[in-house]
Amino acid sequence: VGGEQISSIGRGLCVLLGISLEDTQRELEHMVRKILNLRVFEDESGKHWSKSVMDKQYEVLCVSQFTLQCILKGNKPDYHMAMPTEQAECFYNNFLEQLRKAYKPELIKDGKFGAYMQVHIQNDGPVTIELESPAATVDPKQLTKLEKQQQRKEKTRTKVPSESSRERNVPRNKDDPSASSGAEGDVSSEREP
């Protein structure tokens, strides 16, 4: 973060956590159990898919990554399904707390929520596994319904006074206080994981 290394682990798991609008305490508890008990490591005899991070006493590095909640609208990424920043930060901190309670606190590391980070991962195998809680699994019809609800919410938001078309087409400066933080779906380095 800002050219400074704030966290690192040796062997273990790198968890990229995308927090959805729909996530609750139930999903959080499910994910903590799955992450800590997922058998992705070899045992002492070299048998693959036999041991969990807890079995091996390995470390876990967690990175909050709202971009995992991306829905493509044509070629443009849309992040409306990501939990808003303030709620997501609370959820993320609770997630870390639950991981530390269920395992060894000194073996759970994290990045800096909401910061622009350079994350270096040496993916052994490479093995990458997507985990979703059962309640988070949404069928395509339901997703379409959620998208329509979100679009209706967007249309009903208070409109700002009309700007000239010239002003509307000026790119936003990230230092501009009126620029979006990314919570409304804009891509912004201020909200990058």
pLDDT for residue 177: 42
| Residue of 67, 85, 128, 137 marked active site | 67
Which of 72-76, 142-146, 173-177, 188-192 shows the lowest per-residue confidence on average (mean pLDDT)?
Answer: 188-192
The pLDDT tens digits for 24-71 are 999 999 999 999 999 999 999 999 999 999 999 999 999 999 999 999
Residue 134's pLDDT band, with cuts at 50, 70 and 90, is: confident
Sign of CA dihedral 128, 86, 182, 146: positive
d(CA 176, CA 180): 9
At residue 10, the pLDDT reads 96
Q: Is the pLDDT of residue 189 over 60?
A: no
From CA 5, how far away is CA 72, in angstroms rounded?
32
* Burial call 149-173: b when 16+ CB within 10 Å, e when fewer: ebeeeeeeeeeeeeeeeeeeeeeee
**pTM for this model (two decimals):** 0.69
Q: Are 69 and 79 in contact (CB under 8 A)?
A: yes
Crossing angle, helix 25-37 and helix 85-102, to 10 degrees? 40
Mean of per-residue pLDDT scores for the chain: 81
Residue 67 a catalytic site member: yes
Q: Mean per-residue pLDDT for 62-81?
A: 95
Domains of the chain in start order, with CATH, are: 10-130 (3.50.80.10)
Task: Look up tokens 């230092």; give the residue.
Answer: 175
